[in-house]
Amino acid sequence: MFDINIVNDKFIYPYEKNLNLQNNFIQAEPFPNIVIKNFFEDKFLTSVLNDFPDLEKTNNTQRYNNKNELKFANNNYDQFPKSIKKLFDFLNSKVFLEFLQKITSIEEKLISDPELNGGGLHQIKKGGVLKIHTDFNKHPTKNLDRRVNLLLYLNKDWEDSYGGHLELWDKDMKKCFQKIKPDFNTMVIFNTNDFSNHGHPDSLNCPISLSRKSIATYYFSAGRPKSEINSKLYKNTTYFKNRIGHVNETSQKSEKVKNFLRSFKFYQKLKDIEKKYIRRKKNNK
């Protein structure tokens, strides 16, 4: 059972309502997803918003400034205020993982990522952007497949004219099926694989005094269905996509030489060693 101090009381006994949530998730287009509004207790989530730092001025913030991304991100859990730590502890808890498992109907056991790789706190300011993309599909240091994205928005009194809507596109990048406004206490959960195209591709148009704030967590499993894998993609990376009618909207580095090397088992073994010993050591610093 969920903590009444964290979760809105109408979701305290979620298991009775899981069937509706599950059906909505599975049947959604262009890939399984669900938008849940007011899942969290208002007072608790307001404290998270009040404690949300300006990432541009925060130590250990990652700054993305290129054609595909103009944003700030920070996954340094130890540095977070207590309210934000409490939120991430809940999102990585056993009870919430059971909730996700039932909603998504994923057969493989879902595993949280306390390291918050790629997740944590995200902030986009006026003029910022995150082009349509598919995410990295493997955990950077463990042999796990990335299966579920969770995004929680923290923007009160957000106007449509500000933009920043999360767009969900079909796998061929021909049609946007959903535009989700990043309103306060809006939680988006969706399957992530080699075909789940999403992002907010147009520059943010909010007042300079505001920013688009969100919480991100990702969930993994040991193995995944082959139908979720694009055999043409070799590298565990984020792939940015052009929308239909937009030429050269994004940039993607050529990987021809590396893709040739990736076809050899010795290269994969070297990468496994690098992940296990070198990359993990860096993340634990």
Are residues 224 and 277 both part of a single domain? no
Q: Is 197 a member of any domain?
A: yes
Q: Is 2 a member of any domain?
A: no
Taking only the tens of pLDDT, the chain with its 285 residues reads 788 899 998 887 655 556 689 999 999 999 999 999 999 999 999 999 999 999 999 999 999 999 999 999 999 999 999 999 999 999 999 999 999 999 999 999 999 999 999 999 999 999 999 999 998 888 888 889 999 999 999 999 999 999 999 999 999 999 999 999 999 999 999 999 889 999 999 999 999 999 999 999 999 999 887 777 766 655 568 889 999 989 899 987 655 555 555 555 565 566 555 555 554 444 444
Q: What is the pTM of this model?
A: 0.87
Are residues 143 and 266 both part of a single domain? no
Q: Is 118 a member of any domain?
A: yes
- Report which secondary-structure segment, H or E, holds 197: strand 197-200
Are residues 263 and 232 both part of a single domain? no
Are residues 264 and 139 both part of a single domain? no
Are residues 22 and 130 both part of a single domain? yes
Are residues 78 and 111 both part of a single domain? yes
Are residues 175 and 272 both part of a single domain? no
Q: What share of the chain is helix, strand, coil (3-state, %, to 5)?
A: 30, 25, 45
Are residues 99 and 239 both part of a single domain? yes
Radius of gyration of the chain, Cα coordinates, nearest whole angstrom: 19
Q: Is 262 a member of any domain?
A: yes
Domain carrying residue 44: 9-253
Are residues 44 and 27 both part of a single domain? yes
- Write the single-letter amino acid at 250: T
- The CATH number of the domain holding residue 170 is 2.60.120.620
Are residues 71 and 28 both part of a single domain? yes
**Which two structure tokens, joined as six digits, stand for 37?**
């509004």
- Report which secondary-structure segment, H or E, holds 268: helix 265-273
Q: Rounded to 10 degrees, what is the CA torsion of 78, 84, 90, 92?
A: -50
Q: Is 1 a member of any domain?
A: no
3-state secondary structure of 236: coil
Q: What total number of domains does the chain contain?
A: 2
Q: Is 113 a member of any domain?
A: yes
Q: Is 4 a member of any domain?
A: no
Are residues 263 and 164 both part of a single domain? no
Are residues 141 and 38 both part of a single domain? yes
